[in-house]
Amino acid sequence: MRVLFTSCPGYGHFHPLVPLARALQDAGHEVAFALAESYRQVVEHSGFRHFTAGIDLSTSMDSREVMKGMESLLQQVRGSADGHLRHVTDMFVDTLAARMVPDLLRIAGQWRPDVIVRDLMEFGACVAAEHLGIACAVIQVGAMRPEDFHGERMTEHLNALRASVGLGPDPHQEMFYRFLHLCFAPPSYLGSAPLAPTTHYLRTSLFDQSGDERLPEWAERLGQGGRPVVYASLGTVFNKMQGPLRAILEALRDEPVELVMTVGRDQDPAGFGPQPAHIHVERYIPQTLLLPRCDLALLHAGYNSTTSALSHGLPLVLLPILADQPLNASRCEELGVARVLDVLALTPEAIRGAVREVLSVPSYREAARRFQRESRESPGIERAVWLLEQLAAGKTPTPGMAAR
């Protein structure tokens, strides 16, 4: 079986696909990724064939432009459902998917995959797969549910993209979840009802070692002095907004905790100035190696890092910024695993108070451990491999358990 994975250009979109891609390879199947050219090295380093596809955001603007654009967009869309959906349409349909569709038609026409697997926000694969008559599966990346995509403007723009390759309208967005929807998080994370009739809930499967980074030697001693260990990160995109990172450092500089803050491969830790011995600022440390040594995670509410921390039973302090992050944060707050702070009104005092509360109130950790147990009780990744094998063989929708 040949499986083509497609992803938006971002580690937060690529990383959640890798565990299943590796499981498919281990089962003897041929796997390739269609992704922006700047990800060729990381895709090939991870052991997969790479096809260049879509726009390359990392080469289209410098970091100052990225940060300025993020801050401006944040002011426009925060607290506005219409603004958020407009952002999703502009970025993920008109910018990313529009560039992916012709590339995917070319790649799939030559390589001829049996099935395509996309990350939730990569919409180009839906259109290309339907045009080519190939079954398309989706992996949940983020907390957006089917109803969160519904809007007249988004449907109109998706239908225009479909029309560009000769497909008719899809007023109910059936192409998104038609064949198979794989959610590597327990049902409670996105609500008890299935996201779609084809939804299958699976055990959280993690990947974040896309480079050669290892656990630093000093990290072996974390927690030995009796101080709780706090891990802080804004991920690999929003780390360019240095204001929240500096607020975290100021908030915890004099606190009786050990802080490990990663600022991204593209940031110089020295730029944050000298730090006391209990604060460690690094470019990047694989979370799967670090989180077992932590007591709390202070994050931007990205789906990958949030579910990774919860799968380790860690309570959270969340600073959602854009994309699906406000939805992830809201769900975590409802589950009782997190305190959520408004990044537009962020102060060191607010961060310090939230960290103190989450560390001292047992209910946060207890709720996180419930998530951890629920995830571990879900079927493993081998179930996802079997489901894709069935999809490739039958090319018909695969109902989830709740739909049977």
pLDDT tens-digit map of 328-343: 999 999 999 999 999 9
What lies within 8 Å, CB to CB, of 139 at 6+ separation is: 16, 17, 20, 117, 118, 119, 120, 182, 183, 184
Instruction: Look up residue 154 and give its two tokens.
Output: 């988004």
pLDDT digits (tens, 9 = 90+) for 13-54: 999 999 999 999 999 999 999 999 999 999 999 999 999 999
The one-letter amino acid code at 225 reads G
The one-letter amino acid code at 28 reads G
In the predicted model, is pLDDT for residue 278 greater than 70? yes
Q: CA-to-CA distance for 26 and 3, rounded, in angstroms?
A: 13
In the predicted model, is pLDDT for residue 61 greater than 70? no
Rounded to an integer, the average pLDDT of 147-163 is 94
The one-letter amino acid code at 395 reads K
**13 and 302 Cβ atoms separated by less than 8 Å:** no
Q: Poorest-confidence range of 52-66, 214-228, 265-279, 312-326?
A: 52-66
- What pLDDT does residue 92 have? 94
Helix (H, G, I), strand (E, B) or coil at 366: helix
Q: Which of 234, 339, 337 is nearest to 287 (CA)?
A: 234
Taking the model in full, what pTM does it have? Answer: 0.89
Strand pairing of 135-139 and 115-119?
parallel
Q: Which domains does the chain have, with CATH numbers?
A: 2-203+378-403 (3.40.50.2000), 217-376 (3.40.50.2000)
Q: CA-to-CA distance for 234 and 240, rounded, in angstroms?
A: 8
CA 52 to chain centre: 21
Q: In what order do the strands lie in the sheet with 199-201?
A: 49-52, 30-35, 2-6, 115-119, 135-139, 180-183, 199-201
Instruction: Look up residue 135 and give its two tokens.
Output: 């079954």
pLDDT band at 158 (very low <50, low <70, confident <90, very high): very high
Which helix or strand (DSSP H or E) is residue 164 part of? none
Helix (H, G, I), strand (E, B) or coil at 293: helix
Q: CA-to-CA distance for 230 and 238, rounded, in angstroms?
A: 19
CA 159 to chain centre: 26
The one-letter amino acid code at 57 reads L
In the predicted model, is pLDDT for residue 136 greater than 60? yes
Tokens 């990724």 correspond to 33
Mean pLDDT of the chain: 90
The one-letter amino acid code at 68 reads K
In the predicted model, is pLDDT for residue 404 greater than 50? no
Instruction: Look up residue 198 and give its two tokens.
Output: 């084809």
Strands (E), 7-87: 30-35, 49-52
* Residue 162 CB-half CA count within 13 A: 20
The angle at the Cα of 380, spanning 234 to 304, to the nearest 5 degrees, equals: 10
Terminal Cα distance for the chain, rounded: 26
- What is the number of residues in the chain? 404
Instruction: Look up residue 249 and give its two tokens.
Output: 């450092």
Q: What percent of the chain has pLDDT over 70?
A: 92
Instruction: Look up residue 195 and give its two tokens.
Output: 């996201």
104 CB-contact burial (10 Å; exposed 0-12 / middle 13-18 / buried 19+): buried
Can you say whether the dihedral through the CA atoms of 41, 23, 324, 127 is positive or negative?
Answer: positive
In the predicted model, is pLDDT for residue 78 greater than 70? no
Instruction: Look up residue 76 and give its two tokens.
Output: 């426009």
- What pLDDT does residue 323 have? 76
- What pLDDT does residue 142 have? 85
pLDDT band at 59 (very low <50, low <70, confident <90, very high): low
- What pLDDT does residue 73 have? 52
**197 and 174 Cβ atoms separated by less than 8 Å:** no
- What pLDDT does residue 74 have? 55
Q: CA-to-CA distance for 356 and 209, rounded, in angstroms?
A: 31
